[in-house]
Structure 1
Amino acid sequence: MPLAQLEQITLHYVTLDQPRPIGARREEVVMVHGLGANLGFWYLRIAPMLSAYARVTLFDLRGHGLSEMPRSGYGVDRLAADMRELLDHLGIGSAHLVAHSFGGSVAAHFACLHPDRVKSLTLVDTRMRSLQPNLRLRDWAHWPRYRDLMRENGFVFDEDGGEFGIQLFNQMARLRVHEPDRADRLGAMMPSPFSGKNGKRSAMRWLELIERTTALDEFGRAGDVPTDRLPSLRMPIVGLYGEYSQALETARELSRLCEHADIRILPRAGHFFPLHMPEKVVEPVARLLDASWLPQPTAAPAWMHGTVTGLAEPVLLKKT
Structure 2
Amino acid sequence: MPVISLPNVRLHVQELNPEGAETLIMVHGMFSNLAVYYFNIAPMLAKHFRVVLFDMKGHGMSEKVQTGYDLTSMTNDLRDLMDALGIEKAHLAGYSYGGLVALKMATRFPERVGKLAIIEGPDPSEQETLTIIDTYSKEFLIHYIENFADTTRLLAGKRQLEKNHRMYEFLFNETSIRSDMEGEKAFFNDPAVAAIEHETLLIYGEESNCVPSGRTLASRISNATLVLAPGDHNVPVQQPEVIGKELERFFEPSPLPVG
| TM-score calculated relative to the size of structure 1 | 0.69
Distance in 2 (alpha carbons) for counterparts of 1:128 and 1:76: 13
Identity %: 28
Residue 211 of structure 1 is aligned with which of 163, 173, 177?
173
Distance in 2 (alpha carbons) for counterparts of 1:220 and 1:30: 25
Q: What SS is found at the alignment partner of 2:219?
A: helix
Distance in 2 (alpha carbons) for counterparts of 1:100 and 1:10: 21
Structure 1 position 43 matched with structure 2 position 38: yes
**Could you say which residue in structure 1 is the equivalent of 2:126?**
134
Q: CA deviation at 1:193?
A: 3.5
Return 5+ residue gaps in structure 2 as ranges: 146-156
Structure 1 residues 134 and 32: alpha-carbon distance in aligned structure 2, compared to 1, 3 A threshold: same
Does the 8 A contact of 1:76 with 1:224 survive in 2?
A: no
Residue 193 of structure 2 is aligned with which of 201, 214, 230?
230
Bigger radius of gyration? 1
**Could you say which residue in structure 1 is the equivalent of 2:150?**
none
**Could you say which residue in structure 2 is the equivalent of 1:8?**
8
Distance in 2 (alpha carbons) for counterparts of 1:42 and 1:36: 14
Distance in 2 (alpha carbons) for counterparts of 1:69 and 1:224: 27
Q: CA deviation at 1:33?
A: 0.3
Query: After TM superposition, which residue ranges in structure 1, 4 or more long, deviate above 6 angstroms?
Result: none
Show the 5 A alignment for 1:284-303. 284-287=246-249, 288-290=251-253, 292=255
RMSD (CA atoms): 2.2
Q: CA deviation at 1:89?
A: 0.6
Structure 1 residues 165 and 223: alpha-carbon distance in aligned structure 2, compared to 1, 3 A threshold: closer
Does the 8 A contact of 2:196 with 2:222 survive in 1?
A: no
Distance in 2 (alpha carbons) for counterparts of 1:223 and 1:65: 26
Distance in 2 (alpha carbons) for counterparts of 1:8 and 1:205: 20
Distance in 2 (alpha carbons) for counterparts of 1:36 and 1:194: 13
Show the 5 A alignment for 1:298-309. none
Q: What SS is found at the alignment partner of 1:192?
A: helix
Residue 245 of structure 2 is aligned with which of 278, 283, 297?
283
Structure 1 residues 166 and 97: alpha-carbon distance in aligned structure 2, compared to 1, 3 A threshold: closer
Does the 8 A contact of 1:76 with 1:223 survive in 2?
A: no
Does the 8 A contact of 1:75 with 1:223 survive in 2?
A: no
Structure 1 residues 224 and 39: alpha-carbon distance in aligned structure 2, compared to 1, 3 A threshold: farther
Structure 1 residues 281 and 209: alpha-carbon distance in aligned structure 2, compared to 1, 3 A threshold: same
Return 5+ residue gaps in structure 1 as ranges: 21-25, 137-161, 174-190, 294-320
Does the 8 A contact of 1:125 with 1:241 survive in 2?
A: yes
Q: Which has the higher helix share?
A: 2
Residue 92 of structure 2 is aligned with which of 92, 97, 115?
97
Q: What SS is found at the alignment partner of 2:141?
A: coil
Distance in 1 (alpha carbons) for counterparts of 2:206 and 2:227: 9
Distance in 2 (alpha carbons) for counterparts of 1:72 and 1:34: 17
Does the 8 A contact of 1:194 with 1:203 survive in 2?
A: no
Q: What SS is found at the alignment partner of 1:63?
A: coil
**Could you say which residue in structure 2 is the equivalent of 1:272?**
234
Show the 5 A alignment for 1:104-253. 104-129=99-124, 133-136=125-128, 163-165=130-132, 168=135, 191-197=139-145, 199-200=160-161, 201-222=163-184, 225=187, 227-253=190-216
Distance in 1 (alpha carbons) for counterparts of 2:24 and 2:83: 14
Structure 1 residues 128 and 238: alpha-carbon distance in aligned structure 2, compared to 1, 3 A threshold: same
Q: What SS is found at the alignment partner of 2:144?
A: coil
The one-letter code sitting in structure 2 at the alignment partner of 1:240 is I
Structure 1 residues 209 and 10: alpha-carbon distance in aligned structure 2, compared to 1, 3 A threshold: same
**Could you say which residue in structure 2 is the equivalent of 1:256?**
219
Deviations 1:190-247 (A, max 9, x none): x333443255133331222212222222122158646311232222100000011111
**Could you say which residue in structure 1 is the equivalent of 2:26?**
31
Question: How many pairs does the alignment contain?
Answer: 240
Q: CA deviation at 1:52?
A: 0.4
